[in-house]
């Protein structure tokens, strides 16, 4: 096992930038923490839960997939040797589930090229990052079980570094890292994990609502009530680590231009509307139902990478929803409405 002094982390990142594009938390305007290219003057370890998950590293908000010239399609597959430093465990689970989804049946070259070129460094959480964290309920934190190349544990003055892959091991072979007694370190990490897990409140309603949805007891009227509030901004989907729906559109002039794919969401009315104008999900309630059944019901037979469901407990949908129908308020309401019945 190895460790690194906190004061040496900046030098470590600087070293890594020689060979990799290093994405990490930077404190920017308004003290907002943004996950982007390493900047020595802005880098911070005090970043809590980032407002955005890291899916855009593999699945950008919009991405050119073909350049088209005189109606000839030339594919554009962008990828770059990248290190993601400081991934939270919930986001690591999001990456694992999304990678599994994007490679099932048919591989998605745009996603996998970036996924393959990226080294994942997880920062285990010592406790909840804000009041909406519930990763212990969804088996997706506060530390990662797999998927990472390296995982950092904060011990105050230093980080203990757990190796998850060969690539990860090579990254910490430099002199900034100190060899330490493995038995001793394992004990410290175990204590860290126990304390961290106990500090994060469980949300039992997640499991009870999953059961209710599975049994089909939640009526459409309930969803329509939530639908009355929903302003269809799509915020919950865009910050969600496991929302990977997209649309494809062309930017064209005279047969040349580009074919682009960009984030889309099932909360938008046009998402399922067919050319005939028939819409299988005609109401906002039915669209909200879709989104939450996706997270809590429909995909639970699939490859969840050890998670409970396709919600990873990051709580961001609850953080951003302007009308308080993020997953936490939603499961509390459903569980209240259907408890006795």
Partner 1 sequence: MGVNKQLKEENIYKPLPVSIVRNLPQIKDHRLFQLKIENGTTWETFSHQPGQFIEVSIFGKGEAPISISSPPTRLDTLEICVRKVGILTNALFELGKGSTFYIRGPYGRGFPIDILKGHKLLLVAGGLGLAPLRSLLLYALDKRGEFDDIILMYGTNNPDNVLFKYELLSFFDRKDIKYLYSVDKDEEGIWKQYVGVVTGLFDQTELSPDDTYAVMCGPPVMYRFVIQKLLSLGFAKDHIYVSLERMMKCGVGKCGHCAIGDKYCCTDGPVFSYPEIESIKEAI
Residue numbers at the binding site for partner 1 (CB under 8 A): 19-21, 65-66, 68, 71, 73-81, 101-102, 104-110, 113, 216, 220, 244-250, 252, 255, 257, 259, 264, 266, 271-276, 278, 280-281, 286, 290, 293-294, 297-299, 301
Work out the number of other CB atoms within 10 angstroms of the CB of residue 182.
10
Rounded Cα–Cα distance for residues 290 and 262 (Å): 20
> Which is closer to partner 1, CB of 201 or CB of 255?
255
> Which is closer to partner 1, CB of 20 or CB of 153?
20
Provide the minimum distance between the beta carbon of 79 and partner 1 in the complex, in angstroms, as a whole number. 6
Provide the minimum distance between the beta carbon of 13 and partner 1 in the complex, in angstroms, as a whole number. 15
CB within 8 A of 46, min separation 6: which ones? 27
Tokens of 223: 């969803």
> Which is closer to partner 1, CB of 55 or CB of 297?
297
Let me know if 101 is exposed, middle or buried by CB neighbors in 10 A (0-12, 13-18, 19+).
Answer: middle
> Which is closer to partner 1, CB of 52 or CB of 66?
66
Provide the minimum distance between the beta carbon of 78 and partner 1 in the complex, in angstroms, as a whole number. 5
> Which is closer to partner 1, CB of 219 or CB of 324?
219
Work out the number of other CB atoms within 10 angstroms of the CB of residue 59.
23
C-alpha distances in Å from residue 204, one per residue of 100, 135, 208, 329: 27, 12, 7, 13
How far from chain centre, in Å, is Cα 41? 26
Provide the minimum distance between the beta carbon of 85 and partner 1 in the complex, in angstroms, as a whole number. 16
Provide the minimum distance between the beta carbon of 216 and partner 1 in the complex, in angstroms, as a whole number. 8
Do 225 and 289 touch, CB atoms closer than 8 A?
no
How far from chain centre, in Å, is Cα 147? 13
CB within 8 A of 100, min separation 6: which ones? 302, 303, 305
Provide the minimum distance between the beta carbon of 330 and partner 1 in the complex, in angstroms, as a whole number. 19
> Which is closer to partner 1, CB of 98 or CB of 335?
98
**Positive or negative: CA dihedral 206, 212, 214, 216:** negative
Angle at 164 between CA 14 and CA 308, to 5 degrees: 115
Provide the minimum distance between the beta carbon of 270 and partner 1 in the complex, in angstroms, as a whole number. 9
> Which is closer to partner 1, CB of 44 or CB of 272?
272
């Amino acid at each position: 096992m190895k460790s690194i002094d906190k004061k040496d982390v900046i030098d470590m990142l600087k070293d890594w930038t020689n060979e990799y594009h290093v994405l990490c938390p930077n404190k920017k305007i308004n003290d907002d923490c943004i996950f982007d290219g390493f900047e020595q003057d802005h880098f911070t370890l005090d970043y809590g839960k980032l407002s955005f998950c890291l899916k855009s590293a593999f699945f950008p908000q919009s991405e050119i997939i073909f350049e088209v010239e005189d109606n000839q399609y030339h594919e554009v597959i962008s990828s770059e040797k990248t290190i993601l430093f400081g991934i939270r465990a919930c986001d690591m689970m999001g990456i694992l589930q999304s990678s599994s989804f994007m490679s099932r049946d048919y591989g998605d070259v745009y996603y996998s090229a970036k996924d393959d070129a990226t080294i994942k460094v997880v920062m285990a959480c010592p406790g909840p990052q804000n009041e909406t964290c519930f990763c212990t309920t969804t088996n997706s934190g506060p530390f990662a079980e797999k998927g990472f190349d390296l995982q950092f544990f904060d011990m105050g003055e230093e980080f203990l570094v757990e190796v998850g892959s060969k690539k990860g091991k090579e990254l910490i072979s430099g002199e900034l890292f100190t060899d330490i007694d493995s038995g001793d370190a394992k004990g410290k990490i175990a204590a860290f994990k126990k304390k961290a897990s106990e500090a994060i409140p469980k949300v039992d309603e997640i499991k009870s609502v999953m059961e209710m949805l599975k049994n089909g007891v939640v009526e459409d009227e309930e969803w329509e009530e939530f639908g009355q509030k929903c302003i269809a901004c799509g915020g919950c989907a865009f910050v969600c680590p496991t929302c990977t729906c997209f649309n494809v559109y062309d930017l064209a002039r005279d047969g040349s231009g580009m074919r682009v794919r960009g984030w889309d969401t099932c909360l938008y009315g046009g998402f399922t509307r067919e050319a005939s104008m028939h819409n299988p999900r005609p109401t906002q309630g039915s669209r909200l139902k879709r989104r939450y059944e996706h997270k809590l019901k429909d995909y639970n037979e699939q490859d969840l990478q050890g998670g409970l469901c396709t919600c990873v407990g990051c709580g961001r949908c609850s953080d951003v929803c302007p009308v308080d129908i993020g997953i936490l308020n939603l499961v509390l309401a459903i569980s209240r409405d259907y408890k006795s019945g």
